[in-house]
């Protein structure tokens, strides 16, 4: 028996029940796959439901105003994903009349669709023999074959794609999803559950006890750290916010007032005066941390109540403005 057959048999019994499972609609698959990039399935589920209810078709997404789109994405992070998703929807509507192309090559020409997403859509929606090589596939294959190549390199991805393509068989969409489920449920990054793995008879790492050595993730660069003082200025159930610049990290989203560095008590007082906020009572200081792809924000959060008044350059949060998770956590 080929390892792909064993994997499919396991999938038929153990597949996860997920709201996007069973969908053959390329749009629904696109939305779920983009949301699942860098986000766990459990966290994606409520977002996916809300998003599909608000924007059920590729045409609805193509016509959605940016601020509403970012609000639907609020808390999911990596907001460029939402913008790319909309650009992709616009291209599908403009170039293909709202019907997705079916081959991975054509799908990859659309904005924001890389080899993995193209493979997932082509295989799941259209039954094409296209591998969808993500971190799960790379981890499983590296362990199966005790392959020490750096999985962060494109060459390694291309090599596994070429290896899997002729092995996709009759059920390519299911095979790709089986890899995803095996990677999420059994062949875990830190402590793989080899005793319950259907691929155990095929696995070199299991035979030699070398699971911890694979995959090779190359040299990890340390993330840059930034210190920030964030002001959570509250009046009633609202907070002072402003729109971030159009370029750079979290562009176009909203933010709480903030200053670089961890300010001293005097500097906090001076910053509040400069801001034009009139505190009522003492302020409280908390610490929060937020990890982005290349940077970690270490935040000193100054929480205070203030008189509700106009503050030049700022507005009071109404609930409709998209606030990124880094700032939402300062309000909790």
Active site residues: 33
**Between residues 140 and 277, which has the closer beta carbon with respect to ligand SF4?**
140
Q: Could you tell me the smallest distance in angstroms from the CB atom of residue 145 to ligand SF4? A: 10
Q: Does 186 bind ligand SF4 (CB under 6 A)?
A: yes
Q: Does 187 bind ligand SF4 (CB under 6 A)?
A: yes
Inter-residue contact 197 to 181 (CB < 8 Å): no
Among 129, 199, 196, which Cα is nearest to 166's? Answer: 129
**Between residues 3 and 78, which has the closer beta carbon with respect to ligand SF4?**
3
Residue of the chain from 140, 142, 301, 323 that contacts ligand SF4 (CB under 6 A): 140
- Tokens 């002729």 correspond to 166
Q: Could you tell me the smallest distance in angstroms from the CB atom of residue 3 to ligand SF4? A: 9
Give the span between the Cα atoms of 136 and 19, in whole angstroms.
Answer: 20
Q: Could you tell me the smallest distance in angstroms from the CB atom of residue 157 to ligand SF4? A: 18
Phi first, then psi, for residue 69 (nearest 5°) are -60, -45
Q: Could you tell me the smallest distance in angstroms from the CB atom of residue 214 to ligand SF4? A: 8
**Between residues 6 and 45, which has the closer beta carbon with respect to ligand SF4?**
6
* Tokens encoding 25: 């609609």
Inter-residue contact 246 to 252 (CB < 8 Å): yes
Count of chain residues binding ligand SF4 (CB under 6 A): 15
Inter-residue contact 131 to 104 (CB < 8 Å): no
- Tokens 């190359």 correspond to 218
Q: Does 324 bind ligand SF4 (CB under 6 A)?
A: no
Among 220, 214, 219, 225, which Cα is nearest to 298's? Answer: 225
**Between residues 43 and 185, which has the closer beta carbon with respect to ligand SF4?**
185
Contact range with ligand SF4 by CB under 6 A, out of 137-145, 260-268, 275-283, 316-324: 137-145
Give the span between the Cα atoms of 120 and 127, in whole angstroms.
Answer: 10
| 3-state secondary structure at position 24 | coil
Q: Could you tell me the smallest distance in angstroms from the CB atom of residue 181 to ligand SF4? A: 12
Q: H/E element holding 284?
A: strand 279-291
User: Which string of x and - marks every residue 189-228 that binds ligand SF4 (by CB under 6 A)?
Assistant: ---xxx--x-xx--x-xx----x-----------------
* Tokens encoding 21: 């499972």
User: Which string of x and - marks every residue 143-172 that binds ligand SF4 (by CB under 6 A)?
Assistant: xx----------------------------
**Between residues 142 and 277, which has the closer beta carbon with respect to ligand SF4?**
142
**Between residues 94 and 193, which has the closer beta carbon with respect to ligand SF4?**
193
Q: Could you tell me the smallest distance in angstroms from the CB atom of residue 189 to ligand SF4? A: 10
Give the span between the Cα atoms of 33 and 282, in whole angstroms.
Answer: 46
Inter-residue contact 264 to 304 (CB < 8 Å): no
Distances (CA, A) of 105 to 101, 110, 279, 318, 323: 9, 10, 58, 44, 36
Q: Does 136 bind ligand SF4 (CB under 6 A)?
A: no
Q: Could you tell me the smallest distance in angstroms from the CB atom of residue 159 to ligand SF4? A: 18
Please state the separation of Cα 32 from the chain's center in Å.
10
> Residues in the site for ligand SF4, rule: CB under 6 A?
140, 143-144, 186-187, 192-194, 197, 199-200, 203, 205-206, 211
């Amino acid at each position: 028996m080929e390892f792909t057959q064993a994997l499919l048999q396991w999938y038929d019994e153990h597949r996860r029940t997920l709201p996007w499972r069973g969908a053959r609609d390329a749009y629904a698959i696109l939305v779920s796959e983009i949301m699942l990039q860098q986000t766990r399935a459990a966290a994606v589920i409520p977002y996916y439901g809300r998003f599909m209810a608000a924007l059920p078709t590729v045409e609805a997404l193509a016509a959605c105003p940016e601020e509403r789109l970012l609000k639907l994405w609020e808390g999911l992070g990596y907001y460029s994903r939402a913008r790319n998703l909309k650009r992709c929807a616009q291209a599908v509507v403009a170039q293909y009349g709202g019907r997705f192309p079916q081959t991975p090559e054509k799908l990859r020409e659309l904005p924001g669709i890389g080899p993995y997403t193209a493979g997932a859509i082509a295989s799941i929606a259209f039954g094409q023999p296209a591998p969808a090589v993500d971190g799960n596939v790379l981890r499983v294959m590296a362990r199966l074959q005790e392959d020490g190549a750096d999985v962060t390199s494109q060459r390694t991805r291309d090599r596994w794609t070429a290896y899997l393509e002729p092995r996709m068989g009759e059920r390519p969409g299911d095979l790709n999803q089986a890899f995803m489920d095996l990677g999420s449920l059994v062949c875990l990054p830190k402590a793989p559950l080899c005793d319950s793995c259907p691929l155990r008879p095929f696995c070199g790492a299991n035979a030699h006890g070398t699971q911890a050595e694979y995959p090779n993730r190359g040299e990890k660069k340390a993330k840059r750290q930034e210190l920030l003082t964030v002001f959570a200025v509250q009046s009633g159930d609202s907070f002072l916010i402003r729109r971030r610049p159009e370029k750079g990290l979290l562009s176009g989203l909203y933010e709480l007032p903030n200053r670089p560095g961890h300010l001293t008590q005097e500097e906090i007082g001076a910053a509040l005066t400069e801001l034009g906020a009139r505190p009522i009572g003492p302020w409280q200081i908390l610490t929060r941390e937020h990890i982005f792809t290349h940077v970690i924000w270490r935040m000193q959060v100054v929480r205070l109540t203030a008189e509700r008044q106009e503050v030049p350059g700022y507005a009071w949060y109404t609930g409709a403005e998209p606030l990124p998770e880094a700032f939402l956590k300062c309000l909790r």
